[in-house]
Structure 1
């Protein structure tokens, strides 16, 4: 059975994870505004290393696997397989840990219609036998459990070599059956470094790849500088106020329990 990841709207409809190739050792950047959707109000700021779609995939896999573990642990070999990688050797594990390190040094400030989160993207520590332990920053569970789209990891993993396609995969999934956006607005929204002249043909190739991989994406048209997307409904979680209050109370209890367990683990016995 395919693992299902939760992708917050703020991640899918912004350039936080830009469609660029991953290059290790990038410099840490100060807090700055990230391009994000304006028709669905999202304000997002980020400090830390420049993040790519490789980081997005690592974040999705780690949070998904940790949520399924009673101890919030992730085996690196399981994460690599969920990413669709055939190699699970030491070099692949090191690359994955480098992505985790970038995520752990990143901080975001997110404000949407339903979310107000400030904190790290990721927190983890290494364990023996190729495992890591996730620590859920306060508020992160809320971010995953409301205003998020649920997506199978295997469909995204099939697009792993095409950063623009993986970005579009998540972006398209957050919309309803049909959606229109100007090409220039989309280019700015995803944080593409391509010129408008080169973006359009690259966009067509990426959309074709998503259409071949994602069953929910049915067709698209580009005319007069506007992209029209057509899709089947995807599972989106938008809690009503009563359910949100109940869920938030439960999440706060989980966060407090994990914090207490983490504090006990640091006490020298």
Structure 2
């Protein structure tokens, strides 16, 4: 059964998770503004380690699996398989937990048309038998329940070795059938460290890879410095005001119940 992740627009239309190779132990940085879409208003800042598409994959898998668990638990072996990794040995688990450490050390400030979130990406603790338990920060459930795109993780996992392709996969999914953007604007938006001269051929390669793996992405054209994307509709969650109010009340109740359950579990009997 395919896992479906909910990815906030603020994550998919920004350079929060940059298309760069992952290197362990990135230095923590102070709160700074992250490039994000301006045609769809997103203001985003982040403090902590520099995050990459490897962190994005770990975050999507972890939150998706935790949401399916009544105890918000994730088995590391399930997470590694969802990432499409052939190896689920100790070294792979250790690397995955290093990504978790970076995510837990990160704090984001998000302001969009529909969201105002300030807090960590998540918190977690290690459990016996290769498991972790996630803690949902206050407001995180609302972030996932509104202004988010639904993405099958199996198609994305096939792009794991190509950071720009995974970034484009999520970015393209948030748009309607046809969308245009200047190449220079896209280069800055995704946080690419490539020069404009080297970005265009790398972009073509990445787009071809996305088209081969994502059924919703049909074709693209590049002409006169502009990229035109053509796609089929994807499932996007944008709540009506009344539904959003009800959802906020529901998630506040769930968060309170979770905190109470954790408090009881820490009492010595």
| TM-score over 0.5 (shorter chain) | yes
- Unpaired runs of 5+ residues, structure 2, are none
1:247 positional shift: 0.7
1:132-211 superposed matches below 5 A:
132-211=132-211
> How do residues 60-79 of structure 1 correspond to structure 2 at under 5 angstroms?
60-79=60-79
CA-to-partner distance for each residue in 1:175-207, whole Å, 9 max, x for gaps?
Answer: 000000000000000000000000000000000
What do the CA deviations read for 1:241-264 (whole angstroms, capped 9, x no partner)?
000001111000000100111122
Deviation at 1:117, TM superposition (A): 0.4
User: 1:265 offset after TM fit, Å?
Assistant: 2.0
Query: What secondary structure sits across from 1:245 in the alignment?
Result: helix
Distance apart, 1:267 and its partner CA? 2.3
Aligned to 1:236: 236
Secondary structure class of the residue paired with 1:114: coil
Of residues 255-264 and 228-237 in structure 1, the stretch that sits farther from structure 2 once superposed is 255-264
Q: Measure the CA separation in 2 of the matches of 1:104 and 1:211.
A: 32
- Structure 2 match to 1:50: 50
Determine the C-alpha separation between the residues in 2 that align with 1:62 and 1:76.
Answer: 9
CA distance in 2, matches of 1:16, 1:261: 32
Larger mean CA deviation between 256-265 and 236-245 belongs to 256-265
Q: CA offsets per residue over residues 2-61 of structure 1, 9 Å max, x none?
A: 000000000000000000000001100000000000000000000000000000000000
Query: 4+ runs of 1 displaced by more than 6 Å?
Result: none
Q: Which moved further from structure 2: 203-212 or 257-266?
A: 257-266
Deviations 1:202-250 (A, max 9, x none): 0000000000000000000000000000000000000000000011110
Look up the SS of the partner of 1:228 in the other structure: strand
**Aligned length, in residue pairs:** 269
Distance (Å, rounded) in 2 between the aligned partners of 1:229 and 1:168:
11
**CA distance in 1: counterparts of 2:268 and 2:103, whole angstroms:** 28
Q: How does 1:211-250 map to 2 (within 5 A)?
A: 211-250=211-250
Counterpart of 2:251 in structure 1 is: 251
The unaligned stretches of length 5 or more in structure 1 are none
CA-to-aligned-CA distance 1:95-127 (integer Å, 9 cap, x gap): 000000000000000000000000000110000
Within 5 A, what are the aligned runs for 1:82-101?
82-101=82-101
SS in structure 2 of the partner of residue 31 of structure 1: strand
Superposition RMSD in Å = 0.5
* Alpha-carbon separation, structure 1, partners of 2:39 and 2:148: 17
Q: Matched residues in 2 for 1:84 and 1:194: separation?
A: 27
Alignment partners' CA distance in 1, 2:221 and 2:90: 44
Deviations 1:141-174 (A, max 9, x none): 0001100000100010000000000000000000
Give the TM-score, by structure 1 length.
0.99
